[in-house]
Amino acid sequence: MKFLARLLKIKKRKHFGTDGIRGSISKETNPEFVLKLGWAAGKVFKEQGIKALIIGKDTRISGYMLETALQSGIISAGVDVRLVGPMPTPAVSYLASSFKNQAGVVISASHNSYEDNGIKFFGDDGKKISNDLEEKIEKKLTEELDVSEAKNLGKAARLTDASGRYIEFCKSSLKRNINFNKLKIVLDVANGATYDVAPKVFKELGAEIIVLFDSPDGTNINKDCGSTNIKFLQKEVLKNKADFGIAFDGDGDRLIIVDKNAKELNGDDILYVLARDKFENQITLGSKGIVGTIMTNKGLENSLTKMGVELVRSDVGDRYVLQKLEELNWDLGGEQSGHIISLDSSNSGDAIIAAIKFLEAYICSGLSLDQLLKPFTKYPQILTNVKTKNSEKVLKNKNFQNLLRDISLNLKKYDGRINVRPSGTEPLIRIMVESKNEKETKSASKILSNFVKKLT
């Protein structure tokens, strides 16, 4: 129950969630708000010594509208703008770290449908900005917008070589002298931000590729495709007798992998393969540990322990994984959802780089994928999402808390655990139940989700 108590004490912020600002373009992320946000962020970044903000976006139709509003606000604060157009979120992170005194902004709602959009900020180190900086921006939003004098207004320009820079950066993450010329890969680019760069990266690394969902029209991003819907990818992997399928999300910071038998490999599987490669081959020396989250499967923790590798858990959100990695001075971590961070190659979660490193580990192991994953046995785990307008009210309900306590005590007999939390990006309560006993896991999940539905 400690996680629930901690959850209820989290400081509420008006606009920023676990991954920037996200919501409907007619409400939370409307143009008027985004213009003011650009001004507020510009003012705050200027105080930090930032001279320009690099703006990237995914492929949703509202991106054009919000890009214009955002750059107007930033320019009015006296800060320059650099436009890169549709680019993966990690590309903007990389570009921000490449130029001195320049930060980054991404217009994207990640895996959400096209009706939503969002804003993510990166510092000049390529990392997502801190809670403190977000709070400063929120405070600035409460002030009256004052436009800089004409002579002090920012200027806008386009970075024409951004795509090429990022492609070469991704390719440089392949550390060993190998290529992918024996691999056939199906890429699902989700009609999103990776639609142009991802196929080029894997082609240039030698793979034979088949590309799905690479015709964005502004409204089809993530629609029945991408890392949150891999059914078509699985069919195409079998149909084309491919070695792997790789699905990215709309902004390119998450991935799910499909093996030749159409079996799904999530972030836990990917982390296991990377950890085994890293520590068995002593690619880097130092402390043997990786960072997961409270959602990471207990089976991964057990398998890593047998390898002599420690798993430390953070709160959900790749920013919290990154914070924990920096705190421990480790470089590998990630989330079950497919955010994978490899600080030896990138300052943020990068789906293309994670895919490259996974394929590199697979090739260099000399094993079949089944052999490579054999020591990793997952616990039965069920994640249920329940829509709710007031997650705090549900979580504070005494009857729900009592039920949660009783079921948690019962699951302890099966090395089980429960995690209930509000989504930081959608009006949902996420209920995770896990234990060695599949029957008990299913039963507990059903009871809890049904109870929450009655409360909403």
- Distance, CA of 343 to CA of 62 (rounded, Å): 32
Radius of gyration of the chain from its Cα atoms, rounded to whole angstroms: 22
Please state whether beta strands 21-24 and 116-122 pair in parallel, antiparallel, or not at all (unpaired): antiparallel
> Do residues 28 and 16 lie in contact, with contact meaning Cβ atoms separated by under 8 Å?
no
Catalytic residue among 62, 76, 110, 173: 110
110 catalytic residue (yes or no): yes
The CA-CA-CA angle for residues 302, 253, 360, to 5°, reads 60
Q: In this structure, which amino acid lies at residue 369?
A: L
> Do residues 246 and 257 lie in contact, with contact meaning Cβ atoms separated by under 8 Å?
yes
DSSP letters, 84-135, are EEE--HHHHHHHHHHSTTEEEEEE--TTS-TTEEEEEEE-TTSSBPPHHHHH
- Name the nearest CA neighbour of 341 among 166, 128, 49, 57: 128
131-135 contact pairs (CB < 8 A, 24+): 133/44, 133/48, 134/13, 134/16, 135/13, 135/16
Q: What is the DSSP letter of 380?
A: P
Catalytic residue positions? 110
